[in-house]
Amino acid sequence: MMRIVRFFYKKIHKKEPPSYYYYSLWKIIVKPIRKYFNVVIIPNIPFANVRIFMYRCCGYKIGKNVFIGMKCYLDDMCYDLITIEENVTISYGVFFACHGKNQTHTPIIIKKGVYIGMRANILSGKDGIVLGENSVIAAGALVNRSVPDNAVAVGVPVKIIE
């Protein structure tokens, strides 16, 4: 059935169909359910351990001794591209995006001991983002490039001050 749909798309639009035309029926059913859990249910769970357990069930790679605050948004389309190592603290309302319009999907890697302040935005850009070990991201910062180890990053866009 999907082959017929792709065939007619090519004939009508004279170009290759978008990636979602190649999804299986199972993926079409599961994707909105995962999105609902990731955007509505999990960020509002008042218990941190339950929140992290649910994120792991959705496929995120999260290390031990991690705290993720309420109302955080982890990119639900790229759950396999977000890696959070051990001893990381992510405050309330942090936003993670692995893709944007006309961008490829690139990884976000958060190394050990990172602290991310409230309402920070982590955008992976063209090459991905690596937040170095023991770095501190200030509240409200817009991180659009990698941060080295043991650094303090502040501002919009982010500036390294140490």
DSSP state letters, 71-136: T-B--GGGGGGEEE-SS-EE-TT-EEES--TT-----EEE-TT-EE-TT-EEE-TTT-EEE-TT-E
Q: Is the pLDDT of residue 94 over 90?
A: yes
Segment 47-85, tens digit of pLDDT: 999 999 999 998 899 999 999 999 999 988 888 999 999
pTM of the model: 0.84
Q: Look at residue 112 and give its three-state secondary structure.
A: coil
pLDDT of residue 136: 97
Share of the chain above pLDDT 90, in %: 63
pLDDT of residue 1: 63
Q: Which amino acid is at 81?
A: L
Residue 132 domain boundaries: 2-160
CATH classification of the domain holding 106: 2.160.10.10
Q: Is the pLDDT of residue 5 over 70?
A: yes
First to last CA, the chain: 57
Domains held by the chain: number? 1
Token pair in block for residue 73: 């948004």
Residues taking part in catalysis = 99
Rounded to whole angstroms, the Cα distance separating 124 from 105 reads 8
Q: Is the pLDDT of residue 141 over 90?
A: yes
Cα 137 → chain centroid: 16
